[in-house]
Amino acid sequence: MRELYRFCLLGLTFLLVFSVLYLLKNMKDVKDGYYKSTLPGYEIYNAIEKSKKRISKKKLVIGDSTGYQYYMHISDEDSIYSLACNQAIGMCGHFFLLDDFLKTGNRPEQVYMVFYVSSFSNNLDQKFTYHYFLKPFCNKNYEERMSETVKRQIEKVPYHSLSQFPRILTSSWAPVYNPPSEFHLMSPISNEYLLKIDSLQKAYGFELYLIPCLARKGIKEWNERLFQQHMNEVDPRLREVVDRYFQGIHYMEDTCFSDGKHLKNPQLYRNMIEGEMRNDSNKFRIH
């Protein structure tokens, strides 16, 4: 028995020593922040960092990965600044980015929200929610700005409370999360945070535009049916805006897209949509 106790005691001591060193290493990793450029969702950390910079540009883009693709190669001389990243952060995440950008002291004159039609359905219930939303946003900087709807939704994600644990935060690990998909045209979280973005517009007085991304012809009928069937999900205060958004979608040949959503040539978008914006900027304007 003495040998057994000795083995257990030494094993526990080793585990303790290892745990302390391991914790220190992971805390150092968190402090270094290198993980922010290597993990899935690195574009979110990039957008968060950009949202906290003082910028003199007067046009701001927020949006999903299609919006990110359109404004990926803007130069320093360009008048546009982009915080577009990925739909997986939900409208709540986009609100945080815009809110931070404004709180940093930036005063854009025009804010363009560039989204693909399916992005509004995100209710923070996707398999990437852990990487893209929980890890970057579930911390003290953002938690007080989260609504009850968001908090309830987060609690459904397995191991949500561990997302800020140093080892998990800095690793590419995420729990398997594939909840039964509940279809929305406009999810409760999107409704709520679109209205919050709208209230930011009122507070800071910029022009706000909701601009649709190009979509492939193959989904036109599906899109129109979706719009008819699910319009009642949209908050009455947003219906007119969403209606104009749907009417404004340009449908292109399927061959223009690399994966059904993202364009092979993003210049197509800038030629079409920005051309329309120059002709009639009120077409997509919310306020």
Q: Which residues of the chain form contacts with another protein (CB under 8 A)?
A: 1, 3-4, 6-7, 11, 14, 17-18, 21-22, 25, 167
Q: Compare residues 167 and 283 and give the one whose CB is closer to another protein.
A: 167
Sort residue 158 into left (φ over 0), alpha (ψ -120 to 50) or beta.
Answer: beta
- Give least dist CB 11 to another protein, A: 8
Burial of 276 (0-12, 13-18, 19+ CB in 10 A): middle
Closer to another protein by CB, 145 or 167: give it. Answer: 167
CA dihedral 204, 96, 42, 157 (to 10 degrees): -160
Nearer to another protein, 22 or 222 (CB): 22
Contact predicate 124/189, CB 8 Å: yes
Q: How far is the CB of 140 from another protein (least distance, A)?
A: 27
Q: How far apart are CA 39 and CA 166, in angstroms?
A: 14
How far is the C-alpha of 193 from the C-alpha of 93, rounded, in Å? 9
Closer residue to another protein in complex, CB, 32/240: 32
- The residue whose two tokens read 């257990």 is 8
In angstroms, the CA 144 to CA 132 distance is 18
Tokens coding 17: 């020593």
**What's the closest the beta carbon of residue 162 comes to another protein, in angstroms?**
12
Supply the minimum distance, in Å, between the C-beta of residue 264 and another protein.
22
Query: How many alpha carbons lie under 13 Å from residue 116 in its C-beta half-sphere?
Result: 24
Would you say 18 or 183 has its CB closer to another protein? 18
Shortest gap between Cβ of 128 and another protein (angstroms)? 15
Per-residue DSSP letter, 274: I
| In the complex, minimum distance from the CB of residue 14 to another protein, in angstroms, rounded to a whole number | 6
User: Judging by beta carbons within 10 Å of its beta carbon (0-12, 13-18, 19+), is residue 175 exposed, middle or buried?
Assistant: middle
The residue among 22 and 183 lying less far from another protein, judged by its C-beta, is: 22
Could you give the C-alpha distances from 94 to 39, 120, 223, 255, 259, in angstroms and in order? 20, 11, 23, 30, 23
User: Judged by CB, which is closer to another protein: 10, or 272?
Assistant: 10
CB of 4 to another protein, least distance (A): 4
Residue 13 or 199 with smaller CB distance to another protein: 13
Q: Cα–Cα distance between 14 and 33 in angstroms, integer?
A: 28
Minimum gap (Å) between residue 259 Cβ and another protein:
19
